[in-house]
Amino acid sequence: MKPIIGITMSIENDTSFINWRYTKAIIQAGGIPVGIPLGLEEDALQLIHMVDGLVLSGGGDLHPHTFGEEPHVNLGQVNSDRDRLELALAKEAIKRQIPIFAICRGHQVLNVALGGTLFQDIYSQNQNIYLHSQKAPRHEGTHFISVKQDSLLYKLLGKETMTVNSFHHQSVKRAASNIKVVGKAGDGIIEAIEIVDYPFCLSVQWHPEEMAVEGDEDSKKLFTAFIEESLKNKVG
């Protein structure tokens, strides 16, 4: 039996969708991806008990009201319905302690769900920031990050320095109290976090699904480890 992986969906022009690279990366690693549409925040507890692992996927900006701020002039498109669902799912997943793989927006959702805050626009709220919306092809790494040795990321990959791809203008500002920062770009932007004393949580600012489906071995290892942990957690 393969593990069932719940994955959050984007919405645009009244259409819910999942970038196929998420589903392909999960399938290649041995999981069965199942999309979770908007409007089910009241059913988050039941949904989390139906899946073996959760992917919080990428997408648009979080509304700053979710972390107690007014909107910055450079805030991008937001969707409060998606915010409500994903924050509810993240909180229930953490309570149940199922494996979590949080990617880009999902990385930010995880931090906000635990009480952290975000930079609404890294370029205007920081100085000397790298390009984090790359011009290179989506599957290519574009900037370096440093990885702490006492982290799940280092345990899985054995690297203190990585090259990652980048497509964001929001990022973690203040990490939640039970979050450990385990990866940063050279400009100080937080690129990887973990939940303290949590069984399995990968939370990254980049897009490993884009790299995994194009054969990047490190990215494939991350998905494989997530699926293996989700299989151990299999509910039925």
207 is catalytic: yes
Q: How much is the average pLDDT of 154-169?
A: 96
Q: For residue 103, which of 205, 17, 218 has the smallest C-alpha distance?
A: 205
pLDDT tens string 85-124: 999 999 999 999 999 999 999 999 999 999 999 999 999 9
On whether the CB atoms of residues 166 and 149 are closer than 8 A, the answer is no
Please give the pLDDT value at position 131.
Answer: 87
pLDDT at 210 over 70: yes
Catalytic residue, from 104, 107, 143, 210: name it: 104
**Mean pLDDT computed over 190-200:** 97
* Residue among 86, 92, 191, 209 flagged as catalytic: 209
Answer with the residue of higher pLDDT: 216 or 15: 216
> What pLDDT sits at residue 134?
86
How far is it, in rounded angstroms, from Cα 3 to Cα 228? 8
Predicted local distance difference test score (pLDDT) of residue 16: 85
Q: What is the pLDDT of residues 41-88, one digit of tens each?
A: 999 999 999 999 999 999 999 999 999 999 999 999 999 999 999 999
* pLDDT tens figures, 213-232: 999 999 999 999 999 999 99
Known catalytic residue at 209 = yes
Where residue 159 falls among pLDDT bands split at 50, 70, 90?
A: very high
User: What tokens were used for 52?
Assistant: 């073996």
Q: Which domains does the chain have, with CATH numbers?
A: 4-232 (3.40.50.880)
The candidate with the shortest Cα–Cα distance to 64, out of 136, 170, 210, 151, is 170
What pLDDT score was predicted for residue 235? 58
* pLDDT given for residue 236 in this prediction: 54
One of 92, 194, 207, 229 is an active-site residue; which one?
Answer: 207
pLDDT at 125: 94
Annotation marks residue 104 as catalytic: yes
DSSP class of 61 = B
pLDDT score, position 8: 97
Mode of pairing for the β-strands spanning 201-204 and 100-103: parallel
